[in-house]
Amino acid sequence: MKSSKMYPWYFSSGALIIYFTFIVLPSFIGIYYSFTDWNSFYPEIRFVGFDNYKTILFEDRAYLAYIKNTVLFTVVTTIAKTILGLLLAMLLVSGIKGASFHRMVMFSPQVLSFLIVGLVFKSLLDPNFGFLNYCLRAIGLDFLAQDWLGSLTWAMPSVMAVDTWKGMGYIMVLFIAGLLAIPKTFYEAADIDGASQLHKFFRITLPLLLPTITITTILNITYGLRVFDIIYVLTGGGPGYATDVINTAVYSAFAKGYWAMGSALSTILFIIMVFASYFVIRAMNKKAVEY
């Protein structure tokens, strides 16, 4: 009998060992190396304290540009995906014809790899032969044709638009689940009281969707802060530093042999992610409504 009771402990201890070995330990090792001058040029590793962090945050403007671009990308795409995902979800649960088909179409970009999406949009946004500029010129709007991925002004908005297009279908599905979980009796009571659609949205739908909004916001923030694939495929971080983010800087640092600097950037990204997620969860939980 005792041995059967011990089985859960055996499995738990094994899971903890695996988690510590492959998750916790490498994280602490990476943090330790961020306080050194670890690189591919010298075999000796020296402890340098906060020198790497001082370079990133106060001395090298390029690194500050990476952090700024990461935060900008995260904020804009999070807001865009949340708003568009919610609007699409509300439309598809409103009883329109072919809702299942529309859901499939809207969700389909999510199953495509970032490589495929990046290559497709790279050709669509080509300044000379891209489909977007071709359409603009065909209808006499030549002045709107841009070098979408090669312009300092338009590169980041273009990347954010592509990422929003790819990710809003997934957020839409989460909102559909949240909307379908709201009891219809609330809306029936509101109809009896003569409430308008706008009133029902702000008084019923939005408050009861806060748990779903919290989840989608956390997912969008953690993804936005970790973004790499779509930017690397579309622009490679260019032009200049226009679309470089923290993870492209980490990739570049490790590729060039500046491993300690890459570890420091990864640690800063981790800290930003933890604090952003914590404050979002705390803010949303204060406004959550139980039903």
Record the pTM.
Answer: 0.90
Give the pLDDT confidence score for residue 161 in this predicted structure.
97
- Per-residue confidence in pLDDT tens, the chain, 291 aa: 445 555 565 557 777 888 788 888 888 899 999 999 999 888 889 999 999 999 999 988 899 999 999 999 999 999 999 999 999 999 999 888 888 888 899 999 988 999 999 999 999 999 999 999 999 999 998 889 999 999 999 999 999 999 999 999 999 999 999 999 999 899 889 988 888 889 999 999 999 999 999 999 999 999 999 999 999 999 999 898 899 999 999 999 999 999 999 999 999 999 999 999 888 888 877 666 555
**In the chain, what are the domain boundaries?**
1-25, 61-287
- 61-287: CATH topology is MetI-like fold (1.10.3720)
HEC per residue, the chain: CHHHHHHHHHHHHHHHHHHHHHHHHHHHHHHHHCCECCCCCCCCCCECCCHHHHHHHHHCHHHHHHHHHHHHHHHHHHHHHHHHHHHHHHHHCCCCCCHHHHHHHHHHHHHCCHHHHHHHHHHHCCCCCCHHHHHHHHCCCHHHCCCCCCCCCCHHHHHHHHHHHHHHHHHHHHHHHHHHCCCHHHHHHHHHCCCCHHHHHHHHHHHHCHHHHHHHHHHHHHHHHCCCHHHHHHCCCCCCCCCCCHHHHHHHHHHCCCHHHHHHHHHHHHHHHHHHHHHHHHHHHHHCCCC
